[in-house]
Structure 1
Amino acid sequence: MNKTVGIGIALVIIVAVVAALLFLSTQPQQTPTPTRTSPTQPPATTSTPTPSATTTQTTTTVAPTYKWQLIGMYIAAEDKVVKGQPPVQQPPPDYLTPVIVDVKPTEAPTVVEIGVLQPLSGRLASLGQLAAAAATLAEQDVNAYLTKINATFRIRVVTADTAADPTKALDQMKALHSRGVKFYIVRTSGEVRTMKPYADENKLIVISVSSTAPALAIPGDYVFRLPPDDTKQVKAISKILQDAGVKAVVVIWRNDDWGNGLVKGLEAVAQSRGFEVIRAATYDPQKGEFSTEVSVLAQKVREAIAKYGADKVAVAAFGFAELQTIFITAAKYEELKQVKWYGADGSTGLSELLVPDAAQFAVQVGGFVSPKFAPARSPYYDRVRDYILKNYNREPDSYAYNAYDAVWLIAYSILQAGTADSQKIHDTLPTVAAKYFGASGYTKLNEAGDRESADYEIWAIVKS
C-alpha cells in the first residue's frame, strides 16, 4: 500500500468516528427515577428549591427597634434618685408664663429678629431640629399674644445651621449681625466659647439652650444659659453610679469644654461617693473613627475588672452623636460588654444612638443610663411636646423646651424694658427670668447668668 492510499484510509476512519460521536450527543438522555424518601426527608436535588413557609417567615422577620425611655429622676434638693415621672407643677399666680391666645397675629411697625443658631445637620441635627421647631412655635405664640395686647413690635425667628461647628456658628452670628440681629438662641458649650468674645464686644444677647460647661459660668457677660451648669449634673451622675455600687469609673470623653468639665467635676465628687475615676481616653470630636481610643478604654477596663470585678466597674462615655461609632467599635471587645455604661446630657435622647448596631450594644451594657436637665411638667410643657410629637413624630429632648422659653424671655424683656436695645435687655432679662415659669419650668438665673437649679431626668435605651 502506498503512502497516499494509507493517508486517505486514515482520514476516512477519523471522519467516521467524529460523525458517530456527534450522532450520539444529539440523542435524548434518560433521566433516572429519583429514590423515594419519607415525608420528613425531602428528595435530594441539585435544583434551587421553592422557598418554604419557614424560609418566607425568616426573610420577613422584623428587626428589633429601640427607643429612649424615662426611668427615673434625680431630685437635687434631696440628693436622691427615684423611679417614675415628675409631678405636674403650677407656677405661683404672680409669675409670668407663656400666654396662649386664639388670635391671628397681625403686622406691627417694628420686627425684632432672633437668630436661632442650631445644628440642623451633622452630629446633633436630631436635637437641633427640635430646638428650632420649638422656637418657631414660640414665635407663633408670642406674636399672637403681642397682637392681643396691641404691642408695637413682633418677633421673627431666623434659623441658621451651625452643624455644631463653633467656627460655623460664629460665621452665622456675624452674618446675621451684619443685618442687625442682636438676639441669638444657640446650643453647645463649644459654640458658646467661640461666639462669646464677639457677642460681648458687640453687646449681642446670647441664650444657650444646652451649654453646661462650668468654665463658661462667667458673671457679667452677654451669655445666658437656661440649663444649670455641670457642677449640678455631676451630682446626678455620681449619685446614679453610687447607687449602682460602682467602685471604679473608666472615662472616655470629648476633648472640649463640656467633656473636660464633666470629667473634672466627676473627679471632684468621686471620693465622697465611694468610687475612683480612671481616665482612659479623650478624643477629638471631629474624628470619624475612634479605634485607638476604644482600645485604650478596653485595656483600662480590663485592669479595673481585675482589681474590683466586672460588677463594680463602669464606663462613663461623655460625648455626642459620635458615640454611635464608639459603641459599634466597643462591641468588638468582650470586656467592654461586661460592664455597665453611663452617659451625660450631651447624648441623652439622640436618635443617632438608636440605630440597631449601636442600640443593641447600649442595651447589652445596661441601657446607657444617662441624666438630662428636667423640664417641669405643666400645660406649657405639654404644648411644646404635643406640637413636636404631631409635626415630627419624635419625643422632644429637654433643651427644646428651653428654646421655646428663650423666645418668650426675649419678648417679655423687651416689653418690660420698653426697648429692644440689647444693652438694656442684658440688664432686664435676669429680672424677667426670676419671675418666669415656662415650658421648661422656673428659669431663675444665678450670678453667672445660668439657671440656678434643677432636677434631672434619667433615661435609658430599651427595646421598643
Structure 2
Amino acid sequence: MLTELFKNKRSFIGLLCALAVSAVVLCGCPPKEQSGGTGDTPAKPEVVKIGYVLPLSGRGADYGAVQQKAIEIALAEVNKEAKRVEVVYEDSQLDPTKALTAAERLVSVNKVNVLFGFSSGETLAVAGVAKRSKLLLVAPMASSLELDEAKDAMIRLAPSDAAQAEEVAKVVRRLGHANAAILHVNDVWGKGLAKAFETAFQAEGGKVATNETCEPGATDFRAQLTKVKSLNPAVFFIPVHPDEALPLLRQAKDLGVKSKVFGGDTFSNEAVYADKSKLAEGVVFALPADSDTEAWKEFSRAYKEKNGNQPDINGAAAYDAVKIIAEVAQKAASLTAVDLRKAVIDGIQSYVGATGEFSISAEGIATGKRYGVFVVKGGAYKPMDLPGAKGGKAQ
C-alpha cells in the first residue's frame, strides 16, 4: 500500500513538473507577428486607419462636405482589390480647441495610425497629440507659415501662404493695378495670407492702403468697407472663408465699393462660386492646382459624375492625401511617424495627383506645384485668360 502511494506521489509530482515546464515555455514564446513587424518595430496592420479632424458642422462645414466626397472616391480606388485604407472622421467645427479634443478621441478611442488636420489653426492644435502618439500628421491644405514649427513630424501637401500670395500679387501687378486694400479673417490662415500678400505686393512695386480684419463668422463688415470705399483702391483682396465671403460681398455691393476683388483659394468652394446671388462673379483667385493635367481631369470627372458638381481644391487635396498614404504605407518599415514620413519623402517625387505634379521635400513640404489663376464666371470657376499669369510654381 505504501509502495503504491509512493509511486502515485512520484507520478503526481512528475506531472506537476511537466506542467510547470510547459507553462514556462508557452509564456516565454512571443506572439506571432503580423507581416512587417520586427524587433521593436510595431507590426503593420492590414488596414491603415486614418483619423481626420475637419469641419463637418457649423463654420466651414462646406469644406468638410467636399473633402468627404473626394475621399470616398479615393477610397473606392485604393480599396478596389482589397480593403487597405479606412478613414474615421471627427468634427472640429473649424475650431482649434474642438480639433484638439477630436484628435485625442481619434487616438485613444479609434486607435488611428495617421492623423489628418484641416485648417492651419486646427493642424497646429493637433500637432502635439500626433507627436505624443508618434503618429504622422498630414495637412492636405493647411498652408500657414506657422506650421514650420511642427514640420519635423508633418507632411504638408499645400505650398505655404507665401507662394499663393506671390502669385496673386504678380497677377494684380500684371493687370496694371498699383494699389490695394486687404480685409482678412482673423485666424492663422487669414492673417498669414494677408501678411504674405502685403509683403509680395510691395515687393512687386504696389502699395497697400489698409489691412483690415474681421472675426471668424462675422456678418457685419460695414465699418471696414466704409474705410475701403473712402480709399478707393484699385484692388480689394479678401482672404476670408465662405461664411464671411457672401455677406462681405453683398455689403460691399450695397455700399458701392468699386474695387476689383481678389480672393483666397477658398473661393473655389461651391458655396461661394455657385451661389445664386452671383455675388462672387468676377472674383479672381489662385490655386495650387493645374487644371491641364490628366489626373485633375479624371478626378474632376469622377467627382462630378458622383456628386453633380465641380470639386474644389480642398477636395482635390484630400483625394491626393489619401492616395499617397495608401501608396507609401505598403512600403514603409512601419506606420510610426518617423518611418511613414520617410516613406512619403522618399516615395513621392514627381508625383502626379489631382492637384498637379509635385514632390515632397526633405522638410516634408510639397514643392513644384503649378499655380493656376481662376475667375468666377457663370456659377463656376474657370482658368483666367491672362497671358503669363498661369504657370507659377511653388518653390
TM-score range, shorter chain: 0.7 to 0.9
Distance 1:424 1:280, change over 3 A: closer
Residue of structure 2 equivalent to 1:188: 119
SS of equivalent to 1:206: strand
Residue of structure 1 equivalent to 2:391: none
Alignment of 1:180-259 (within 5 A): 180-218=111-149, 220-259=151-190
Residue of structure 2 equivalent to 1:340: 260
Alignment of 1:43-442 (within 5 A): 110-145=46-81, 147=82, 154-178=84-108, 179-218=110-149, 220-287=151-218, 289-291=219-221, 294-303=222-231, 305=232, 313-321=234-242, 322-334=244-256, 336=257, 338-357=258-277, 359-360=278-279, 362-363=280-281, 367-375=282-290, 377-434=292-349, 436-442=351-357
Distance 1:195 1:379, change over 3 A: same
SS of equivalent to 1:408: helix
Distance 1:219 1:120, change over 3 A: closer
What count of residue pairs does the alignment treat as equivalent? 334
Distance 1:117 1:387, change over 3 A: farther
Structure 2 Cα separation of the partners of residues 252 and 220 of structure 1:
29
Contact 1:324 1:353 in 2 (8 A): no
Contact 2:52 2:88 in 1 (8 A): yes
What's the CA shift string for 1:42-88, capped at 9, x where partnerless? xxxxxxxxxxxxxxxxxxxxxxxxxxxxxxxxxxxxxxxxxxxxxxx
Structure 1 Cα separation of the partners of residues 350 and 204 of structure 2:
35
What's the CA shift string for 1:390-415, capped at 9, x where partnerless? 12111111232221221222122221
Structure 2 Cα separation of the partners of residues 391 and 252 of structure 1:
36
Structure 2 Cα separation of the partners of residues 453 and 257 of structure 1:
24
Structure 2 Cα separation of the partners of residues 438 and 353 of structure 1:
24
SS of equivalent to 1:444: strand
Structure 2 Cα separation of the partners of residues 219 and 120 of structure 1:
25
SS of equivalent to 1:423: helix
SS of equivalent to 2:226: helix
**1:379 shift after superposition:** 4.1
Residue of structure 2 equivalent to 1:105: none
SS of equivalent to 1:168: helix
Which amino acid in structure 1 is aligned with residue 237 of structure 2?
Answer: A
**1:219 shift after superposition:** 6.5
**1:220 shift after superposition:** 4.6
Which amino acid in structure 1 is aligned with residue 255 of structure 2?
Answer: Y
Q: Which has the larger radius of gyration?
A: 1
TM-score, normalised relative to structure 2: 0.78
TM-score, normalised relative to structure 1: 0.67
Which amino acid in structure 2 is aligned with residue 119 of structure 1?
Answer: P
SS of equivalent to 1:443: strand
Distance 1:282 1:113, change over 3 A: same
Structure 2 Cα separation of the partners of residues 109 and 217 of structure 1:
30
Structure 1 Cα separation of the partners of residues 199 and 210 of structure 2:
13
Aligned-residue CA RMSD in angstroms?
A: 2.3
Structure 2 Cα separation of the partners of residues 260 and 399 of structure 1:
19
Structure 2: gaps (5+ residues): 1-43, 380-395
Structure 2 Cα separation of the partners of residues 382 and 462 of structure 1:
19
SS of equivalent to 1:434: coil
Contact 2:56 2:91 in 1 (8 A): yes
What's the CA shift string for 1:405-461, capped at 9, x where partnerless? 212221222211243333321222211222533333333123432211222222222
Residue of structure 2 equivalent to 1:25: none
**1:389 shift after superposition:** 0.5
SS of equivalent to 1:159: strand
Higher relative CO (CA 8 A, sep ≥ 6), structure 1 or 2? 1
**1:245 shift after superposition:** 1.6
Structure 2 Cα separation of the partners of residues 421 and 266 of structure 1:
37
Distance 1:405 1:300, change over 3 A: closer
Structure 1 Cα separation of the partners of residues 59 and 298 of structure 2:
27
**1:345 shift after superposition:** 0.8
**1:130 shift after superposition:** 2.1
**1:353 shift after superposition:** 4.9
Structure 2 Cα separation of the partners of residues 314 and 301 of structure 1:
11
**1:160 shift after superposition:** 2.9
Structure 2 Cα separation of the partners of residues 318 and 183 of structure 1:
30
Contact 1:116 1:185 in 2 (8 A): yes
SS of equivalent to 2:268: coil
Which amino acid in structure 1 is aligned with residue 162 of structure 2?
Answer: T
Which amino acid in structure 2 is aligned with residue 434 of structure 1?
Answer: Q
Structure 2 Cα separation of the partners of residues 379 and 296 of structure 1:
43
Distance 1:390 1:276, change over 3 A: same
Residue of structure 1 equivalent to 2:4: none
Distance 1:257 1:109, change over 3 A: closer
What's the CA shift string for 1:140-187, capped at 9, x where partnerless? 221235x4xxxxx72212233322222222222111101311312332
Which amino acid in structure 2 is aligned with residue 448 of structure 1?
Answer: E
